[in-house]
Amino acid sequence: MPRVLIVEDEPALRRALAINLKARHYEVDAVGTGTDALAAAATGELDLVILDLGLPDLDGVEVIEGLRGWSQVPIIVLSAREAQAQKVRALDAGADDYVTKPFGMDELLARIRAALRRAEGTEPVPAVVATASFTLDLAAKRATRDGAEVRLTPTEWHLIEALVRRPGTLVPASQLLAEVWGPAYEKETNYLRVYFAQLRRKLEAVPGTPEHFITEPGLGYRFEP
Amino acid sequence: MPRVLIVEDEPALRRALAINLKARHYEVDAVGTGTDALAAAATGELDLVILDLGLPDLDGVEVIEGLRGWSQVPIIVLSAREAQAQKVRALDAGADDYVTKPFGMDELLARIRAALRRAEGTEPVPAVVATASFTLDLAAKRATRDGAEVRLTPTEWHLIEALVRRPGTLVPASQLLAEVWGPAYEKETNYLRVYFAQLRRKLEAVPGTPEHFITEPGLGYRFEP
DNA sequence: GCCCCGCGTCAAGATGGCGTCAAGATCGTC
DNA sequence: GACGATCTTGACGCCATCTTGACGCGGGGC
């Protein structure tokens, strides 16, 4: 479910927003100051920010600019002020939408859906992994070796994703098994042997001496870009 | 300069909007009915649509749905109505923003800038898709194969739109089902089997060995241009 | 030098997804 | 109210994939 950060200094409204969003199964963080908002945005993976302009510490536009310095996350601004100039400044600073208090919760939820829908199409990260002998497009599910298309099965993709997410890092066998087959399969290391053999046969230049899918005996496996 | 289509039945407001936008150096088209709006959108390359909901011929939501069937162009809705339900319907139908009359021209211009700024990154999806054996006009809902017209049912169009939006990219079966039949149908993969069989029979040169509607077993489907 | 455990390899059986077809159910139209 | 088109639902055979077991190899410990 999408993660939403609520930035609202008034406790009553903050709680009301959080409850309403949680009831729609969003994951909700809520803070009361602009400083906390920037800190929360810096640590977590956010899908949307709901930002009240009337904050005690920072001007709302500063918060927007602080976020836009490094993030494309959609921002919906709330404000009690009717001032046109305020709206224009917020929108030009990088806000996606502007809702004037008092607002209907239905409308806000609809605007949240609209903002999330727009954001979901734009995939800034192509999620492509390339090595000397093959390339992997995790998003499009395409694999090529020496320019030729290679077919991978669903389990092979799942295993590759679990491993490639941490390039150069050793991933314990139990963790791979838990992620791909489920926690109940943590001891079935023979699955890994079978599937890594298939992956090496399909992707490695010399399957006998793998250069990218490395076995660390007794520990796990490592992907070397 | 960005091309903007104004859809507004009241001549005075239509003129006022057109003059203001032209003064900001936008390229402006202006029409007074929903039918003209869809026709204008189908022919030209548009960057933004400003849509009044109170049109004489079509319901505003129908216009939004008609556009969203094949185009990702940003839509800003204007409306005199304060009704929450109206806003929610328009936004969920695919509108990007909703401005209530009376509005300040500064605010509208700021929202236009915000919508265009967002759309900047996303490349447009062509309304006409052509392959070696068939062509699809998503805007006009026309399909031809070897020059002859082919009839597609509404569900077939809906499925094609969901798939063709990401050419060459794998689209998960659950996503196609959620988009065409609704989130409750994510497990009904037999629908996809039936409808892809129909599409291949109607469009592929050799339905038995499809070249454009590719099944990735266990994952989903892929459109290959 | 021998034994044992973990890894790679292979192949056969089980499984589940896919394509196909056709019969109802439903919707829209005249 | 009847007709046609479209959508839904179920059944069936086939095949890629997954699972499972057996075997050989090699390195480390005794």
Confidence of residue A199 (pLDDT cuts 50, 70, 90): very high
Residues A158 and A186 in one domain: yes
For A11-28, the pLDDT digits (tens) are 999 999 999 999 999 999
Determine whether the distance from the CB of A188 to the nearest atom of strand D is below 7 Å.
yes
Between chain A and chain B, how many beta carbons pairs sit less than 8 Å apart?
Answer: 80
Closest partner residue to B113 among A92, A97, A106, by Cβ?
A92
pLDDT at position B122: 62
Q: Nearest chain A Cα to B167, which residue? A: A140
Confidence of residue B59 (pLDDT cuts 50, 70, 90): confident
pLDDT at position B23: 95
CATH number for the domain harbouring residue B44: 3.40.50.2300
Residues B92 and B142 in one domain: no
Residues B166 and B110 in one domain: no
Examine the fold and report which residue of A99, A119, A139 is the final residue of a domain before the chain moves on: A119
Residues A66 and A155 in one domain: no
**Single-letter code of the amino acid located at B20:** N
pLDDT at position B151: 93
Of chain B, the percentage scoring pLDDT greater than 90 comes to 62
Residues A213 and A149 in one domain: yes
Examine the fold and report which residue of B90, B119, B148 is the final residue of a domain before the chain moves on: B119
Residues B9 and B95 in one domain: yes
Residues A114 and A135 in one domain: no
Residues B44 and B98 in one domain: yes
Chain B residues 122 to 181 whose Cβ lies within 7 Å of strand C are 173
Of chain A, the percentage scoring pLDDT greater than 90 comes to 67
Examine the fold and report which residue of A119, A151, A166 is the final residue of a domain before the chain moves on: A119
Integer Cα distance of B67 and B40 in angstroms: 11
Residues A100 and A163 in one domain: no
Determine whether the distance from the CB of B192 to the nearest atom of strand C is below 7 Å.
yes
DSSP 8-state secondary structure symbol assigned to residue B183:
G
Q: pTM value?
A: 0.71
Asked if A92 lies within 8 A of B111 by C-beta distance, the reply is no
Q: Nearest chain B Cα to A151, which residue? A: B216
For B119-152, the pLDDT digits (tens) are 876 655 667 888 988 999 988 889 999 889 999 9
Decide if B203 contacts B150 (C-beta within 8 A).
yes
Q: Is the pLDDT of residue B156 over 60?
A: yes
CATH number for the domain harbouring residue B153: 1.10.10.10
Residues B67 and B98 in one domain: yes
Identify the domain containing residue B201 by its residue range. 128-223
Structure-model confidence comparison of residues B124 and A175, the more confident one:
A175
* Total domains in the fold of chain B: 2
Asked if B87 lies within 8 A of A95 by C-beta distance, the reply is no
For A79-103, the pLDDT digits (tens) are 876 778 889 999 999 999 999 888 8
For A109-160, the pLDDT digits (tens) are 999 999 998 887 655 445 788 998 899 998 899 999 998 999 999 999 999 9
Residues B24 and B81 in one domain: yes
Residues B47 and B115 in one domain: yes
pLDDT at position B207: 86
